[in-house]
Amino acid sequence: MIKASVKGLVLCLVMGIILWFAPATFGQVRSSDVTTPEQLRGGLMKTVTLDADDAFLPSILSILADKSGFNIVTGPGVNTQERISVHLKDTPIEEAINLVVRAAGLAYEIVGNSILVADAQALSQEIGLSAHVIDLKFAKADEIKDLLSDLTEKVQIDTSGNKILVLASPKVIAEINKIVEAVDVPSPQIMLEARLIEVATDDLDKVGIDWEKLSNFTTILAESPLNRDASTGATDGSSRPPNESDFGGNLPDLGALPEKYKFEKIDGMDNTFKFSRQLYAFDIALDFLMKRNKAKVLAHTQLTTLNNRAANILIGETLRWAVTSQQNAIVVTDSVGIKLQITPTINADGYITTTVTPEVSSITELVLGIYPRKKIRTASTTVLVKDGQQIFIGGLFSVTDSKVEFKMPLFSNIPLIGKLFTHTYNSTQKTDLLIEITPRVVREGISYSDANNLTSNGVRILDDGQTTNLRSLMPELDSLNTAKSEVMDLKKDQKEIITPYEQRK
């Protein structure tokens, strides 16, 4: 019994010693000895310098594998006797592998900690294709599909769920995810304020306004013309730069008001609020015509659209008529009235490129008493303005002929002699459609009303800094207000009114 106990004790001591020294004897696995995927990827980012002439392809790949820490596996279609020449200096290892493999007419794929090199067709079969679904938050699935057409043709879209299904290799899917991540971002929004004003141009000369001369300015009137010389700042048709004032000095002498298309800014305020003499004088004339029922606002609307997306306004009606062909009848629809399409694009420098296409249509007659014939007036222009600056478009003239019948009450209803108290005459009315557009970028975190930044009277709300700058402009604005007062007192003194763009003597 005593001998057995001693043997058991000795056996336990031996086993304890073996277990104690086991890590040193058989090797111990430490966390620092485990290679992570990040460390493997870092090996591919190392740079290598390699010069080899007429060397075997497997030898070159073996050197690159040793430098990167990856294993290199070649497929059966790789010619081990193929020779290539390589001269690389401080090149990332992954880029070097890509160049070497492509020079041999092959392809490669990273699988775990190994790089598989094979023929492109065999590689796709060896690696296999996998399906991947991408949920889109902001971009449209059909637009993303067009972007991915160069990477893979196996792309399906789910328009109802705004998803795309990609069938490709893991490498291609990784590239697709990078592209989608860069493209699927919120698109900037632009708030458009549009006013459509119809001006009756008949007899405007009687109130002292030369509309023909004024309309030259309203064809395209904006603070920043599109065709502008970058070195001088001059617009097309003018070799002199704009005469800008500076708050550090004195305002320039007004002198003669500028001729058409020569813009003179009253500068010095921030980029969101600037005056120009042309726009101010035009507002005076427009206000004068509205107060005397010579102009009326057909529409004053505000709508928000995404960047580079068209916004459409229709003021009119939709016509429907049937067109028969043998035994089939097709209903045709068409719109008549005032159409306005606005497409704003935000540029990197803060300017807004705005494409405006107005169209004015009316029915002239009914062919065969059924089919309408339309008369269309349309224009299209692109202007470059700053955020919050106005655009005026005009020149869409219309002439309407009508027959007017004037009857004297009571007497015109007397039989036989009633015609003697009735007068009929032909009337011709000339009108011009003016379009005023103000694009504003809707900033993130700013409400719609704040982005609009207008009071009920259409006056922009100014902060303290803008108010201070505006007060410094008062001497020049007072002279313009004096001109406005003279226009408003027209009926009282019956004096001849000088047109807004003529020099005041």
Per-residue pLDDT tens over the stretch 387-399 = 888 888 877 777 7
Range list for CATH 3.55.50.30 in the chain: 39-124
Is residue 3 classed as helix, strand or coil in its secondary structure? helix
Q: Is-contact 421 378, C-beta < 8 A?
A: no
Q: Of 138-142, 234-238, 373-377, 484-488, where does mean pLDDT reach its minimum?
A: 234-238
Q: Of 169-178, 263-272, 459-468, where does mean pLDDT reach its minimum?
A: 263-272
Is residue 322 classed as helix, strand or coil in its secondary structure? strand
**Residue located via tokens 């763009």:** 501
Neighbours of 200 (CB within 10 A): 17
Each residue's pLDDT tens digit, 95-119:
888 888 888 888 887 777 788 887 7
Write the Ramachandran bin of 357: left for phi over 0, alpha for psi from -120 to 50, otherwise beta: beta
Q: Is-contact 74 114, C-beta < 8 A?
A: no
State how far the Cα of 178 lies from the Cα of 171, in Å rounded to an integer.
Answer: 11
Tell me what pLDDT residue 10 has.
55
Q: Which of 345, 414, 420, 342 is nearest to 381 (CA)?
A: 342
- SS3 percent helix, strand, coil of the chain, rounded to 5, is 30, 35, 30
The residue with greater pLDDT, 361 or 325, is 361
State how far the Cα of 387 lies from the Cα of 344, in Å rounded to an integer.
Answer: 11
Q: Which of 398, 419, 271, 413 is nearest to 337 (CA)?
A: 398
Each residue's pLDDT tens digit, 297-315:
888 888 888 888 899 988 8
Range list for CATH 3.30.1370.120 in the chain: 129-183
Q: Is-contact 70 114, C-beta < 8 A?
A: yes
What class has domain 129-183?
Answer: alpha beta
Q: How many residues does the chain have?
A: 505
**Position 364 pLDDT exceeds 60:** yes
Tell me what pLDDT residue 210 has.
56
State how far the Cα of 331 lies from the Cα of 329, in Å rounded to an integer.
Answer: 7
Is residue 385 classed as helix, strand or coil in its secondary structure? strand
Domain 39-124 grouped into CATH 3.55.50.30: yes
What percentage of residues in the chain have a pLDDT greater than 90? 1
Tell me what pLDDT residue 125 has.
57
Question: What average pLDDT does the structure give for the chain?
Answer: 68
φ, ψ for residue 414, nearest 5 deg: -75, 130
